[in-house]
Amino acid sequence: MPVLSRNYSARVTVQRTCRLAVVLVVAFMTGSLVQAQAPDDAVVLDRKLIAGAKTGSEIVINLTYLSDVIGPRLTGSAALKRANEWAASKMKEYGLVNVRQEAWTMPEGWQRGTATGRILEPDNGRSLSLASLGWHPGTNGKVQGDVVILKARKATDLAAYKGKLKGAIVLDGSPRPLIALADADKPGARPGSGVAPDRVPRLTPEEAAAFARERREFLHHEGVIAVLLDSGKHHGLLVTSGGWTGTDRPSASNRLPTLFVAHEHYALLYRLASRPAPARTRVELEVSNKFVPGPLVVHNTIGEIRGKEKPDEFVVIGAHLDSWDLGQGTLDNGTGTAVVLETARLLARCGTAPKRTIRFVLFTGEEQGLHGSKAYIAKHKDELPKTSACIVHDTGTGKVIGLGWFGRPALKPILEAELATLKEIGFTQPHARGFGGSDHAPFDRAGVPGAHALQEIAGYRFAHHTQADTLEMVRQDDLVQGAQVLAVSAMRIANLPKLLPREKR
């Protein structure tokens, strides 16, 4: 081979080698750059979800149907069953998989009847506005009794009333101090209460439950006809609550008719009953409620977006589908239901599969003691070590400003970094102080980090469990914002390298 040809061949080889080296360097640098930009890809997805929630939202459409067509959804009722079936159909329509109804049982059902009352003495012609507690009996016709004020905050206080209550209608203490309407949407008392914070030492939940049982048995034994409670709401609104006693015996067997009275009427009864003898206050009541023998089968409604890398690990996004029955059950918790369904719609159609499975759960029996979520915990106990978090939306229509966790300080730096994009839409507290009372609490007790959506009050205190819990209270923009928060939070937690840490203080 000539020298010139050999030199030319050598130069070509060198050039090819250099080009290959450049290609390899560029490929390496590009790969490093892509890896460095991966968090930016997550931000892009955050903003895609946030933007997507603003167009084509079905929150109000779904909430209107749930409130107006299905209506209030008392646990164990036919309306709740219709709501289960409707929610499952929406999950399938949005593209969720493994959509199912998971059964649990309740010992007995209950149906509200009528409740009327009037003052007989003094004969002032006043009718009373009343609403029965759930799972409490009626009066079996008209009953009359003298009104007696019971001032007992602990078991030892009951002894003073022994032998003095036969045939009485009992007022449960003095009227409750209300939060001023001007302050009703300010932080303070718990979100569902219109009552000002109690300044005396409070009993622990265990102490309160024990005292309630002892007082109930005492009043029953003493021959009390009925118990009247202050609704603790403005403008004559009535409130309701309550649940069954357990599985061992029917609730009617050891319970008295117990009714919430409009605050203004309760205060009137208290003033009248406080007059010195011989003045007396006498009332007539007629209450008709019905118990439905059990056991009854009730369902949680569940659907999933399967994880592409770790399908057997989970993030749970939930709300409760059941409600009380004085209003429409819109704020408590139709809003949470609609936001969870909208979150599912956004994530199922965003075009990006999460690494872990995101499971959407609409619990039932929440209002009677978190029974649906407790049943979920029992059924899915083997999955709990692989469940990263449970986030629940359950305080009405207000903007979500944070997530309330039960401590777990190790979560704080993770959530602050992962959820930083949400600051743009008013979400400022990714690791706030939590409280119980909703379906996240059983998860937390079982070791799974549980959080509730910390929301602006937005009328919740005023309407909670009352006739005012209706569609007119809804703030559409704030519910859209709630879906944005849940969608981004669910996807971010599902895509973390590891499950969220479990440690508590």
Q: What is the 3-state secondary structure (H, E, C) of 153-199?
A: CCHHHHHHHCCCCCCCEEEECCCCCECCHHHCCCCCCCCCCCECCCC
* Two structure tokens written together for 264: 């203004």
Tokens of 311: 């399908």
Tell me what the pLDDT averaged over the chain comes to: 91
Residue at token pair 């084509």: 56
Q: Please list, residue by residue across 288-319, b when 16 or more beta carbons sit within 10 angstroms of its beta carbon and e when fewer do.
A: bbebeeeeeebbbbbbbbebeebeebbbbbbb
Q: Tell me whether residue 196 is exposed, middle or buried, using C-beta atoms within 10 angstroms of its C-beta: 0 to 12, 13 to 18, 19 or more.
A: middle
CB burial of residue 25 (10 Å; 0-12, 13-18, 19+): exposed
For the chain, domain boundaries: 39-106+294-494, 114-290
pLDDT digits (tens, 9 = 90+) for 204-259: 878 888 888 899 999 999 999 999 999 999 999 999 999 998 777 788 888 999 99
Mean pLDDT for the stretch of residues 424-433: 97
CA distance 357 to 303: 10
Query: How much is the average pLDDT of 97-115?
Result: 97
Residue 341 in tokens: 């369904």
**Residue 294 and residue 284: Cα distance in Å, rounded?**
32
* pLDDT value of residue 230: 98
Cα distance between residue 417 and residue 410, in whole Å: 12
Lateral strand order in the sheet of 258-261: 127-128, 115-121, 282-287, 142-150, 169-172, 226-230, 258-261, 130-132
Q: Do residues 247 and 107 touch, judged by C-beta distance below 8 A?
A: yes
Is 31 a residue whose pLDDT tops 80? Answer: no
Element (H, E) at 285: strand 282-287
Amino acid at 286: E
Chain centroid to CA 250: 27
Architecture in CATH of 39-106+294-494 = 3-Layer(aba) Sandwich (3.40)
Sheet holding 387-392, edge to edge: 97-111, 290-305, 356-363, 310-320, 387-392, 450-455, 400-405, 429-433
* Distance between CA atoms of residues 321 and 492, nearest Å: 25
pTM: 0.90
CA 332 to chain centre: 7
pLDDT greater at residue 482 or residue 251: 482
Whether 105 has a pLDDT exceeding 90, the answer reads yes
Contact criterion met (CB below 8 Å) for 477 and 27: no
DSSP symbols for 353-370 = --SEEEEEEEE-SGGGTS
Select from 239, 237, 219 the least CA-distant residue to 229: 239
Tally of CB atoms within 10 A around 5: 9
What is the pLDDT at residue 345?
98
Which residues are CB-neighbours of 389 under 8 A, at least 6 positions away?
A: 315, 316, 448, 449, 450, 451, 493, 500
Q: What percent of the chain has a predicted confidence (pLDDT) above 90? A: 81
Cα–Cα nearest to 395, from 151, 193, 216, 231: 193
In degrees and rounded to multiples of 5, residue 450 shows phi and psi of -120, 140
What backbone phi and psi angles, to 5 degrees, belong to 132? -70, 145
Report which of 94, 190, 187 is spatially closest to residue 483, judged by C-alpha positions.
94
pLDDT given at position 245 = 87
Give the integer Cα–Cα distance in Å for 25 and 19: 10
What is the per-residue pLDDT for 409? 95
How far is the C-alpha of 187 from the C-alpha of 473, rounded, in Å? 19
Confidence of residue 21 (pLDDT cuts 50, 70, 90): very low
What pLDDT does residue 187 have?
A: 83
Q: How confident is the model at residue 189 (pLDDT cuts 50, 70, 90)?
A: confident
Check residue 200 and give its pLDDT: 60
Specify the pLDDT at position 57. 97
Are 39-106+294-494 and 114-290 equal in CATH topology? no
**Which is nearest to 393 in space by CA: 435, 451, 456, 311?**
451
The pLDDT of residue 4 is above 90: no
CATH number of the domain at 114-290, please?
Answer: 3.50.30.30
- What is the pLDDT at residue 259? 98
Say which residues have a Cβ less than 8 Å from residue 105's Cβ, sequence separation at least 6: 294, 295, 296, 297, 298
Inform me whether the pLDDT recorded for 353 exceeds 80: yes
Nearest-angstrom CA–CA distance, 108 and 93? 33
476 Cβ contact list (under 8 Å, min separation 6): 57, 59, 60
Cα separation, 150 vs 169, in Å, equals 10
